[in-house]
């Protein structure tokens, strides 16, 4: 039986999805903008979506993540204020619950991640994005992090392959904030029907402070108007200390709310 907090979070996510669906049925085309792709921006999958969201749009993500002994509610706010293919995102864990074996501590997340995505190439089914990024720690670690993500994507028919290659360096390094971190992610997506229901699986490789880890994932994307629900299971740290991860997430695009009326 699932723990009560996990059940409550999943139910809350479904309610958010229902609200997004109802809002998405507005007859006004200016407030009804579909997602740019059938993959998440920063959510459930290993990768984030290379294409920025639609110009003048706002997008939100709310999820639940379980990887023993942690229970996390991640959230993302993405804004595309310009006419160009550029957007800005802020990522934070609204709740971070950690268990030490006997006691469980639940508090607001200890870091904010800031990402700027800029599409630099698009031809046919190929898209390329560069994304400078930075991290600010609020407790538990000194300084922050700075780096960038190189994100190509190629789609043809019902198939899509996307990758993220990220490198960040620690500012004010410590045991909790290593000097260098490399992450390489690649995912394959297969669209199953005209509505955009999609299966995906992916591979992850990370090199942090001289330690290499690898993982795999598999999941499902269920679209609705102006958004999608994502479910993912992953097997992490397969070459060191294997862990199982489960994620669910609701993504809603609120349309061109920044556009002038």
DSSP string for 59-106: EEEEEEEEETTEEEEEEEEEE--SSSSEEEEEEEEEEEEEE-SS-EEE
| CA–CA separation, 4 and 15 (whole Å) | 17
What's the mean per-residue pLDDT of the chain? 82
Buried b (16+ CB within 10 A) or exposed e, 113-142: bebebebeeeeeeebbbebebbbebeeebe
224 has pLDDT over 60:
yes
- Give the mean pLDDT of 33-44: 54
| CA–CA separation, 141 and 137 (whole Å) | 6
Closest C-alpha among 190, 213, 209, 186 to residue 200: 190
| CA–CA separation, 253 and 92 (whole Å) | 18
H/E segment holding residue 153: strand 144-156
**Cβ atoms of 221 and 39 closer than 8 Å:** yes
Is residue 4 classed as helix, strand or coil in its secondary structure?
Answer: helix
Closest C-alpha among 214, 205, 217 to residue 237: 214
Q: pLDDT grade, residue 261 (50/70/90)?
A: low
59 has pLDDT over 80:
yes
User: Which residue would you say has higher pLDDT here, 167 or 143?
Assistant: 167
**Cβ atoms of 250 and 227 closer than 8 Å:** yes
Supply the CATH classification number for the domain 4-253.
2.40.160.40
Other Cβ atoms less than 10 A from the Cβ of 27: the count is 6
| CA–CA separation, 36 and 253 (whole Å) | 9
**Cβ atoms of 20 and 227 closer than 8 Å:** yes
Most confident among 67-71, 74-78, 136-140, 256-260 (mean pLDDT):
74-78
- Residue 218 tokens, joined: 């598999």
- Residue 53 tokens, joined: 């969201």
pTM greater than 0.75: yes
Sign of CA dihedral 199, 47, 93, 115: negative
Sign of CA dihedral 199, 203, 206, 211: positive
- Give the mean pLDDT of 19-36: 36
Residues 175-190 pLDDT 10s: 778 889 999 999 999 9
Classify the phi-psi angles of 226: left when phi > 0, otherwise alpha if psi is within -120 to 50, otherwise beta. Answer: left
- Indicate the burial class of 150 (C-beta count within 10 angstroms; 0-12, 13-18, 19 or more): middle
């Amino acid at each position: 039986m699932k723990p009560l907090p996990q059940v409550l979070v999943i139910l809350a996510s479904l309610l958010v999805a229902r609200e997004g669906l109802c809002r998405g049925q507005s007859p006004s085309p200016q407030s009804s903008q579909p997602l740019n792709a059938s993959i998440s921006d920063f959510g459930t999958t290993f990768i984030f979506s290379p294409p920025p969201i639609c110009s003048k749009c706002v997008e939100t993500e709310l999820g639940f993540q379980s990887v023993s002994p942690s229970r996390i509610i991640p959230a993302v706010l993405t804004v595309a204020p310009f006419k160009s293919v550029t957007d800005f995102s802020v990522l934070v864990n609204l709740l971070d619950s950690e268990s030490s074996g006997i006691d469980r501590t639940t508090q607001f997340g200890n870091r904010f991640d800031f990402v700027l995505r800029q599409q630099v190439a698009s031809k046919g089914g190929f898209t390329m994005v560069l994304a400078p990024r930075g991290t600010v720690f609020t407790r538990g670690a000194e300084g922050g992090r700075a780096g960038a993500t190189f994100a190509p994507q190629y789609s043809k028919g019902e198939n899509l392959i996307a990758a993220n290659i990220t490198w960040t360096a620690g500012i004010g390094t410590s045991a909790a904030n290593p000097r260098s971190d490399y992450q390489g992610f690649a995912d394959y997506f297969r669209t199953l029907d005209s509505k955009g229901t999609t299966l995906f699986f992916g591979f992850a490789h990370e090199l942090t402070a001289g330690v290499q880890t690898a993982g795999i994932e598999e999941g499902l994307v269920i679209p609705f108007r102006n958004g999608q629900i994502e479910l993912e299971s992953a097997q992490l740290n397969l070459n060191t200390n294997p862990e199982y991860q489960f994620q669910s997430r609701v993504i809603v695009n609120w349309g061109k709310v920044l556009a002038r009326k």
